[in-house]
Amino acid sequence: MTKKSFRIAVLPGDGIGPEVVAEAVKILKAVSEASTSFELKLESYPFGGNAIDSLGEPLPAATLKACQEADAILMGSVGGPKWGVDSPVRPEQGLLALRKALGLYANIRPAKFASDSLISASPLKPEIAQGVDIIVLRELIGGLYFGERKEAGVAPNEDVAWDTMIYSVEEIKRITRVAAKLAMTANPPLEIHSIDKANVLACSRLWRKVVTETLKEEYPQLKLDHQLVDSASMLIVANPRKLNGVLLTENLFGDILSDESSVIPGSLGLLPSASLSGAPTISDFSSPDFKTTPGLYEPIHGSAPDIAGQGIANPIGTILSAALLLRYSIGLEKPAQAIESAVRRVLDEEKAGGFHLRTKDLGGNVSTTQMGEKILEALKETL
Catalytic residues: 145, 197, 230, 255, 259
Integer Cα distance of 258 and 211 in angstroms: 20
Q: Is 302 in the site for Mg ion (CB under 5 A)?
A: yes
Which of Mg ion, ligand ATP, none is residue 301 near (CB under 5 to 8 Å by kind)?
ligand ATP
Establish if 268 lies at the interface with ligand ATP (CB under 6 A): yes
User: Per-residue x/- mask for ligand ATP, residues 8 to 27, rule CB under 6 A?
Assistant: --------x---x-------
CA-based nearest residue to 166, from 252, 82, 248 = 252
CA-CA-CA-CA dihedral for 104, 106, 107, 112, to nearest 10: -150
Q: Are 324 and 272 in contact (CB under 8 A)?
A: yes
* Residue of this chain nearest to ligand ATP (CB atom): 302
Question: Does 269 sit near ligand ATP (CB under 6 A)?
Answer: yes
Question: Which entry of Mg ion, ligand ATP, none binds 307, CB below 5 to 8 A by partner kind?
Answer: ligand ATP
Rounded CA separation 83/18 (Å): 17
β-strands 162-163, 192-196 pairing: unpaired
- Count of beta carbons in the 10 Å neighbourhood of residue 348: 14
- In angstroms, the Cα distances linking 265 to 18, 237, 331, 343, 346 are 24, 12, 26, 14, 17
**Smallest distance from ligand ATP to CB 310, Å:** 10
Nearer to Mg ion, 79 or 245 (CB): 79
252 three-state secondary structure: helix
Contact 272, 300 (CB under 8 A): yes
Residue 304 binds ligand ATP (CB under 6 A) = yes
249 touching ligand ATP, by CB under 6 A: no
One of 185, 204, 249, 314 touching ligand ATP (CB under 6 A): 314
Among 71, 139, 255, 361, binds ligand ATP (CB under 6 A): 361
Phi, psi of 76 (to 5 degrees): -85, -100
Stretch that binds ligand ATP, among 142-150, 215-223, 255-263, 309-317 (CB under 6 A): 309-317
79 binds ligand ATP (CB under 6 A): yes
Distance, CA of 15 to CA of 25 (rounded, Å) = 17
Cβ-proximal residues to 193 (8 Å cutoff; 6+ apart), any chain:
225, 226, 227, 232, 243, 245, 246, 247, 248
Residues 295 and 104 sit within 8 Å (Cβ to Cβ): yes
Of the candidate spans 63-71, 201-209, 226-234, 295-303, the one that interacts with ligand ATP by CB under 6 A turns out to be 295-303
- By beta-carbon proximity to ligand ATP, the closer residue of 127 and 306 is 306
Among the residue ranges 32-40, 87-95, 189-197, 299-307, the one whose residues contact Mg ion (CB under 5 A): 299-307
Number of residues that bind ligand ATP (CB under 6 A): 16
Amino acid (one-letter) located at 19: E
Q: Which residues pair with 110 in a beta bridge?
A: 135
| Shortest separation between residue 368's beta carbon and ligand ATP, angstroms | 8
Q: What residue ranges bind ligand ATP (CB under 6 A)? A: 16, 20, 77, 79, 268-269, 301-304, 306-307, 313-314, 317, 361
Q: What residue ranges bind Mg ion (CB under 5 A)? A: 302
